[in-house]
């Protein structure tokens, strides 16, 4: 074990999202204010109150895995593997480059393989138990994605899965940070994945009245912090990051996108679904991230908000930000306005957006912002990307059950 924590940097990003796959397509879409939300096509939604989603309709798993092997895995695992491959490519790493025993994998998911669960449950009801696949459990369990990546890449270091709803990939990044800083790994693939656009999942979210019902205008449905917001938009995808020690990255001449300098974790201890009304848990997570890095609030240049577009959530987060940053909080945008809510993959997708904002010194916007809400009185970077000095930034992820994670990053130039 090293005598002091090692510095942890990000050298690769692999996004698979409704607005683009690969770093530059994803980032270009964010800066252009492109919405990835449209009519739901995966199944017939005519009986559902919500008929829109953030689908990825151009994903071809055969581009990443041979068809025979790909069929052994649920869509959420396929997304994760593709994102991991893209992240390694972006980092300039081949799976054979690092010592496999020194590479960790931490992949979060909120729901896991619900699609295969629904498929096999239907088979049992229609045909009987003998027709249920023996691979059901292996495909649906949340850790299947991390296991697939280890098998295909050959990495034998710590291999874990975090399951904390919409904070899952934020927790995954925090855990990977600890594994590297503490000397248990030199490199880590960390992030999240989700593929929950299914009839059962949609029906549950509809019953909870958690989703936007703007079926007639999908692209404007996700509108965080806007007074007319009416719920989040269910999306799918994955984003994986390559984390490594500063020493490892420097030694191989890697391009460094940013450094993770702190994180904060907390629990609302309030409600299974609703956020704490005063944002107590969220503010505790942000404060802890700043304290871990010995950073003052006025040193933070940008916040990528959890910003789900729900009536309660956005107000709670605003109060939390005000509690930590006072009367002059930094610009705070929600990229969920474009991607929709990727659930367990939201955190890592938004950390990726935050790193790219620091790389290019430009803030991604909150699109669909038209009517100010006095209870969400933040500079949300409305509708248009904005050049800005961004040396230090924070990314928030808050999940059902009151799970909170905030990741603090600095640009490599700092």
Asked whether 384 and 365 are in contact (CB, 8 A), the reply is: yes
Alpha helices in 252-366 (DSSP H): 280-292, 311-325, 336-339, 346-360
Is 341 catalytic? The answer is yes
Cα(228)–Cα(251) distance, integer angstroms: 51
Give, rounded to a whole angstrom, the gap between the first and last alpha carbons of the chain: 27
Cα(222)–Cα(334) distance, integer angstroms: 10
Asked whether 338 and 19 are in contact (CB, 8 A), the reply is: yes
Helix, strand, coil distribution of the chain in percent, nearest 5 = 40, 20, 40
DSSP string, 122-176: HHHHHH-GGGS-TTHHHHHSTTHHHHHHHHHHT--S-EEEE--GGGHHHHHHHHH
Tokens of 292: 């871990």
Of 166, 171, 206, 376, the catalytic one is 166
Q: What is the CA radius of gyration of the chain?
A: 20
Tokens of 27: 């980032």
Cα(268)–Cα(270) distance, integer angstroms: 5
Quick check: helix, strand or coil at residue 322?
helix
Look-up of token digits 């931490």: 106
Of 73, 276, 341, 412, the catalytic one is 341
Asked whether 380 and 317 are in contact (CB, 8 A), the reply is: no
**What distance separates the 2 farthest-apart alpha carbons in the chain?**
63
Tokens of 352: 């990726």
Helix (H) or strand (E) holding 247: helix 246-251
Q: What angle do CA 319, 374, 403 make, to 5 degrees?
A: 30
Cα(338)–Cα(352) distance, integer angstroms: 14
Look-up of token digits 């739901």: 40
Of 73, 306, 403, 412, the catalytic one is 306
Cα(120)–Cα(129) distance, integer angstroms: 9
Q: Which residues are known catalytic residues?
A: 166, 306, 341
């Amino acid at each position: 074990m090293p005598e002091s924590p090692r510095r942890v940097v990000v050298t690769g990003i692999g996004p698979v999202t409704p607005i683009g796959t690969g770093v530059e397509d994803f980032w270009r879409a964010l800066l252009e204010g492109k919405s990835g939300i449209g009519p739901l096509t995966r199944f017939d939604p005519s009986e559902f109150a919500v008929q829109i989603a953030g689908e990825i309709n151009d994903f071809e798993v055969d581009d990443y895995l041979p068809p025979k092997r790909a069929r052994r895995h649920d869509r959420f695992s396929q997304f994760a593997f593709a994102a991991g491959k893209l992240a390694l490519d972006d980092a300039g790493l081949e799976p054979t480059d690092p010592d496999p025993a020194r590479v960790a994998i931490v992949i979060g998911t909120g729901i896991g393989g619900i699609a295969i669960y629904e498929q096999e449950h239907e088979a049992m009801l229609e045909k009987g138990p003998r027709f249920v696949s023996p691979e059901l459990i292996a495909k649906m369990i949340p850790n299947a994605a991390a296991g697939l990546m280890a098998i295909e890449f050959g990495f034998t270091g710590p291999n874990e899965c975090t399951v904390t709803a919409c904070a899952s990939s934020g927790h995954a990044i925090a855990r990977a940070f600890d594994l590297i800083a503490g000397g248990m790994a030199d490199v880590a693939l960390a992030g999240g994945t989700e593929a929950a656009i299914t009839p059962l999942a949609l029906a549950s979210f509809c019953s909870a009245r958690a989703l936007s019902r703007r079926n007639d205008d999908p692209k404007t449905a996700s509108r965080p912090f806007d007074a007319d917001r009416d719920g989040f938009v269910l999306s799918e995808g994955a984003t994986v990051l390559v984390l490594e020690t500063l020493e490892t990255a420097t030694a191989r001449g890697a391009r460094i996108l940013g450094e993770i300098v702190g994180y904060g974790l907390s629990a609302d201890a309030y409600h299974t679904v609703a956020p704490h009304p005063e944002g107590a848990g969220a503010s505790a997570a942000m404060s802890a991230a700043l304290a871990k890095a010995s950073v003052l609030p006025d040193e933070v240049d940008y916040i990528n908000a959890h910003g789900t577009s729900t009536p309660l959530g956005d107000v709670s987060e605003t109060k939390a930000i005000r509690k930590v940053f006072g009367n002059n909080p930094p610009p705070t945008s929600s990229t969920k306005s474009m991607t929709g809510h990727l659930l367990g993959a939201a955190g890592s997708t938004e950390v990726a957006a935050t790193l790219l904002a620091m790389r290019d010194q430009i803030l991604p916007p909150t699109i669909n912002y038209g009517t100010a809400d006095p209870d969400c009185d933040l500079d949300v970077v409305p509708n248009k990307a904005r050049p800005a000095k961004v040396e230090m930034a924070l990314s928030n992820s808050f999940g059902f059950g009151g799970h909170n994670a905030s990741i603090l990053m600095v640009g490599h130039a700092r």
